[in-house]
Structure 1
Amino acid sequence: MNNFAHIKPIAQYKKVGYYSMCINDNELSLFEEFIKQHTKTNEKKLDHILNWLKVIGNKYGAQTHHFRPEGETADASALPPKGVDRKPQYTAYGKKKANNLRLYCLRANEHIVFLFSGDIKTTNKAQHCPNVKNHFKLANQITKAIDNAFIDKDIVWNADFTQIECNEDFKIYF
């Protein structure tokens, strides 16, 4: 447990609050670094994921079927959801395409999602892909630490389970 992270609020929509994690003393969260990294190189794929965050946040809530499972024993999941016929869609050269950019996240419940990082997935399994393997591993480590923080009541739910609360100086070690 050499690393620690603190929770950073990212966005609040009608149905979902998004959070991310700042590792060690970084001011930018994992999600903000993900956006910075892919803004120029994978702009359309990134926009597709960001549009999903808005649609999930405002229209659907964080329902399980909107998140992509990325391994049998994995705790973290990914965006975008599976399928090219879902709205919003990713199109390249005028055709619907599967988006291989992955954003790893933790769907804590229907109202709270933790956003981590990711990259272009080039293999069937995240743990075998040289691009996403480390992002996937980190997302699973942080997810386990967040789950333990809920169990230990270091992170608590508000009365209707739509927000989380923790001390301002709370850190998760992983």
Structure 2
Amino acid sequence: MNNFAHIKPLFKLKTVAYYSVCLEDNDVTLYQEFVEKHTLENKNKLYHIQKWLQLIGEKYGAQNRFFRNEAKNADTSALPPIGKDRKPYYVEYGKKKANNLRLYCLKANPNVVFLFSGDIKTTQKAQDCPNVRKHFNLANTLTKAIDNAFRENDIIWNEDCTLIKCDEDFILYY
């Protein structure tokens, strides 16, 4: 375990608090890097995912049905959710289009979600896609480290399990 990260709160909405991580000594979170990259390259697809974050955070809470599984035995999930015909859609120039942008995340509980990073998925399986493979693998590694930190009580829940608590100088090794 030579790599480390710091947990950083992103934003708290009515029903969900969102967190991310900063790798090594970086002050920018993985989620912020994801947004910066895709604001220019894939703004409509990114906006679609951000609308889901807002809807989940304000109205529904982090329910399993909103998070897609990208692989068996992976604790990491992805957004956007699967649409009615198994494809997530967004609207561009008045037409429905499939959203192949993936944001990998950890749904820690119905009130807390960790947002990592992602990219445009070009293959059926995340593990086979040259664009998302590294994001998917990093998200899985970070998910395991966060789960372990909960087990070790390095990260704890507040009284009503709507926020997490950890020491300000807590280092997440992965």
TM-score by length of 2: 0.96
1:91 aligned residue: 91
CA distance in 1, matches of 2:42, 2:108: 27
Amino acid at match of 1:75: D
CA distance in 1, matches of 2:93, 2:122: 20
Q: State the 1:94 CA deviation.
A: 2.2
Q: Does 1:159 align with 2:173?
A: no
CA distance in 1, matches of 2:81, 2:20: 19
CA distance in 1, matches of 2:2, 2:25: 13
CA distance in 2, matches of 1:7, 1:84: 34
CA distance in 2, matches of 1:101, 1:89: 11
Q: State the 1:93 CA deviation.
A: 3.7
Unaligned runs of 5+ in 1: none
Amino acid at match of 1:124: Q
Deviations 1:107-146 (A, max 9, x none): 0000000000000000000000000000000000000000
CA distance in 2, matches of 1:15, 1:154: 24
Q: State the 1:84 CA deviation.
A: 5.8
CA distance in 1, matches of 2:30, 2:85: 29
Q: State the 1:89 CA deviation.
A: 5.1
C-alpha contact (below 8 Å) 1:84/1:90 kept by paired residues: no
Written as runs of structure 1 = structure 2, the 5 A alignment for 1:2-81 is: 2-81=2-81
Tell me the SS of whatever aligns to 2:114.
strand
Query: Are the structure 2 counterparts of residues 97 and 60 from structure 1 closer, same or farther at C-alpha, using a change threshold of 3 Å?
Result: same
CA distance in 2, matches of 1:92, 1:172: 39
Q: State the 1:159 CA deviation.
A: 1.4
1:135 aligned residue: 135
Work out the number of aligned pairs and report it.
173
2:125 aligned residue: 125
Q: State the 1:14 CA deviation.
A: 0.3
Q: State the 1:97 CA deviation.
A: 1.9
CA distance in 1, matches of 2:71, 2:92: 27
